[in-house]
Amino acid sequence: MIPRDLQADLAIWTKGFSVTRGSPEFQLVIPSSKKELRGLESSIEEAADWPVVLHGLYQLTDRDLAYERCLLISDEDAVLVTAGPMVDRHGRRVVAICSAHFSVDWSDPNLYEVVAKAHGLSVRLLDVYTSLLTDNDANPERQLQKGKLLPRRSFFLGQEQMVAVSEWGEVLDAVREVRGVKGVATPRLLLLGANVVLGTQHEAEVLRARKTSVDGYIAPRSHRLVSMSDNIVPWPHRRTSAQENLEENRRDQREGSVESERTEARRRQVNRTISDAEKASHDFVDAWVKVVRDFFNRLLD
């Protein structure tokens, strides 16, 4: 159950408006100041090589672009990033990036629902605000600069629709088993700061060949995290779920064997007791018959 007061903060990057930079190149447009970014939000702004990231995204169709996703994680917070198309004021197709930043509790078994709802929020608001920026006749650039297009960028997650909930559940299970994961992302959004590819081994190896920082990948079907470097390792003194299940089965087998041995020992003891009792009974009867025989023999004599 997601806490009712859990919120996520929205941020949008796109091209065609001068908001946080002096020219209309690709930049942060919501919020209107980089100083408002917190935690992993700010890491995107600081680390992303936008020309390289955008080069890969512009090659995608609108449908494929909507498939792109990235989840950056830390001990305390996470940010879910999606991408989508929009049309700037000159009628040109451009790419927009939307992020939803939220706090995390790694002990929460329902964390996957939080991530899935953050994914839903990012997808929904990216569609809403790119439409506003495209269709707005009231000088959206001015509104963006003054922070009036979106006066409040925090949204409650409780009522959001979940997106890819099954996938995020399996991905987070895999991430919990190891340490060293900075984030997981589809290949074209990996440069936002993630180090684990949501994709195939081939895609991960191609990225490594291009000198991209890739420490592992999560296969699309099995959702098993495969480490490709020493940066991702199992937690010390901690067993994976598969190992724990195997050890539990072995313990059950050992305990079953011990119990079987104890049962067999008790059975043998019972049989020995019965045998001893029968022997003692036979010995008593033989002795009594001998006493009676001797008594009558003396009478006859």
139 lies in the same domain as 166: yes
105 lies in the same domain as 226: yes
Among 235, 266, 292, the domain boundary falls at 235
Tens of pLDDT, residue by residue over 80-91, are 999 999 887 778
Among 202, 235, 268, the domain boundary falls at 235
214 lies in the same domain as 262: no
Tens of pLDDT, residue by residue over 46-75, are 877 899 999 999 999 999 999 999 999 999
> Longest Cα pair distance anywhere in the chain, in angstroms?
142
> Where does residue 203 rank: exposed (0-12), middle (13-18), buried (19+ CB within 10 A)?
middle
* 3-state secondary structure (DSSP) of residue 138: coil
Pick from 157, 189, 185: nearest CA to 171: 185
As a whole number of angstroms, the distance between CA 177 and CA 170 comes to 11
Q: How far is CA 298 from CA 286, 295, 301, in A?
A: 18, 5, 5
Helices (H), 138-240: 140-145, 165-176, 201-209
52 belongs to a structural domain: yes
- Amino acid symbol at 257: S
2 belongs to a structural domain: no
Mean pLDDT of 113-133: 91
21 lies in the same domain as 63: yes
Domain that holds residue 301: 239-301
Residue 58 contacts residue 188 (beta carbons within 8 Å): no
Mean pLDDT of 30-56: 90
198 lies in the same domain as 141: yes
137 lies in the same domain as 96: yes
284 belongs to a structural domain: yes
Instruction: Reply yes or no on whether the pLDDT at 279 is more than 80.
Output: no
174 lies in the same domain as 29: yes
262 lies in the same domain as 176: no
Residue 286 token pair: 């033989």
Number of domains comprising the chain: 2
Residue 231 contacts residue 181 (beta carbons within 8 Å): no
Q: What is the pTM of this model?
A: 0.76
Instruction: Reply yes or no on whether the pLDDT at 258 is more than 50.
Output: no
206 belongs to a structural domain: yes
158 lies in the same domain as 287: no
Share of the chain above pLDDT 70, in %: 77
